[in-house]
Structure 1
Amino acid sequence: MEHSRFLSSIREQCEALRTAARAAGPDAPVPTCPKWTVSRLVGHLGRVHSRVRKAVADPSGREVEPDRPPEDWAALLTWFDQQRASLVETLADPATPAWLPFARYPATAGSWARRQAHEAAIHRLDAEHALAGSADASAVPSLVFDSGFAADGIDELITRVLPTTGRWREGTVTGTVVLHAADAGQTWTVRVAPGEPPRLEHGGGLDADTTIAGTADAVYRRVWRRPSHAVVTGNAQLLEPLAGP
């Protein structure tokens, strides 16, 4: 995906999140993020935006403590708007050096734009579930992520985020997982073993110990541990090292 599309996605997903958050109200629970309220969700994403801005401002990584969001709801929404606008402006040039905690990502603003596009999309989904008051996969039928964007989100998680987060260290079983996004025409084969980073191959058949199959939208939601209509077959333990943080 082009850099400009990631920036557009940040704007669009954040605006949609804000709309859903306002409609749900600050104290509404977020079913997809246990113990979170809508106010905490908005504050969390705003804090992430402030952290990314500082990571670009100081590529050494010394000044990446996020700002503290206001407690008042109206002030929080205004602050969130400011953080979003500043973030998009900061990420305008994809070649700008930046600090990132993800070792497999190039240390540039372009990498942050991709990461933040998907961060905003997944948390927009959280806000929609909060508005619906349900964690059921059918609770927000009007929201379907574009297949190209969703497939990019699957790839970003598998190739960039998970190898760095270290969640794979929690794995206890060995096997092969296939992720198949039918409408995007993409398949990922991931080999999992205890104490080893996942080994990825693009492509492959559906003969695996575990398979996640469905639309790109459904698989995207499933790997990020959100309600999904993706079909999972095989040994579910193999999915633990591959779940989004």
Structure 2
Amino acid sequence: MRAGEAPREWERLLEWWEQQRAALRAVFDRGPGAPTRLPFSSYPPVVASWARRQAHEAAIHRVDAELALGVETVTFDPAFAADGIDELLMLLVHRRSGWSEFSADGTVLVHAEDAGRLWSVRLAPGSAPQLAEEPFEPDVTIEGSADAVYRAVWRRPSEAKITGEVALLEPLAAP
């Protein structure tokens, strides 16, 4: 058996699983600023980055599961939802390759009203989106509660209001 490979026998699998869980718990117990190896080069290599990534991964998949079950979906706290918007726009979108394939040229304003957060993004053909530092008149706007905008940028059903050139949102799609 290779290192890290799970055994096939049930009893050995349970023991292996418990060892993996204990090792993960030990990493998290070192604290949020402790260094760790991450598969995401755009994130700071610390435990908090891993926890952040997994929190948003689990949150979006929870929404997917609840939608599939046809039950009312969870409503996320404005601070958490705003962090998920920030993670997508500032970190995940930039990991995408093949920017030369995109021809979007314009500006996007993302506004999570109850969180008091704005993201101003400039799109240029063949380039990764850039956070705009100066004010602009947007070509497309996504606005609403942080929860609604979080769902919208992650392409889940949402009550966020989207106005303007919707095609400009394609380069910002969740990977």
- TM-score, with length taken from structure 1: 0.58
SS at match of 2:87: helix
Residue 236 of structure 1: aligned partner: 166
Aligned residue pairs: how many? 164
| Match of residue 21 from structure 1 | none
**2:35 is equivalent to residue 97 of structure 1:** yes
The residue aligned with 1:180 is 111
- Distance change in 2, residues 1:202/1:129 (3 Å): farther
Deviation, 1:240, is: 0.8
Q: Which residue of 1 aligns with 2:68?
A: 130
Partner SS for 2:83: helix
In the alignment, the residues of structure 2 paired with residue 173 and residue 243 of structure 1 have an alpha-carbon distance, to the nearest angstrom, of 13
Counterpart of 2:56 in structure 1 is: 118
* Matching of residues 148-187 of structure 1 within 5 Å: 148-166=79-97, 168-187=99-118
Shift of the 148–202 alpha-carbon distance from structure 1 to 2, 3 Å rule, reads: farther
Determine if the alignment matches structure 1 residue 222 to structure 2 residue 159: no
Q: 1:88 Cα deviation (Å)?
A: 5.0
CA RMSD, 1 decimal:
2.9
Q: Distance in 1 between matches of 2:159 and 2:19?
A: 35
Larger-gyration structure (1/2): 2
1:143-165 superposed Cα distances (whole Å, 9 cap, x missing partner): 21000100011011111111112
Q: Report the counterpart of residue 139 of structure 2 in structure 1.
A: 209
Residues 43 and 91 of structure 2 are in contact (CA less than 8 Å); yes or no, is this contact kept in structure 1? yes
Which residue does 1:20 correspond to in 2? none
Q: Percent identity?
A: 53
Q: 1:82 to 1:156 in 2, by over 3 A?
A: farther
Determine if contact 1:187/1:203 at 8 Å carries over to the other structure. Answer: no
Maintained 8 Å contact 1:212/1:219: yes
Flag structure 2 segments of 5+ consecutive residues without an equivalent: none
Q: Which has the higher helix share?
A: 1
Change (3 A) 1:202 1:218: farther
CA distance 1:127–1:201, shift in 2 (3 Å):
same
Deviations along 1:134-189, one digit per CA (max 9) or x if unpaired, are xxxxx625x21000100011011111111112364542220000000111111100
Unaligned runs of 5+ in 1: 1-62, 133-138
Q: Is the 8 A contact 2:78 2:145 kept in 1?
A: yes
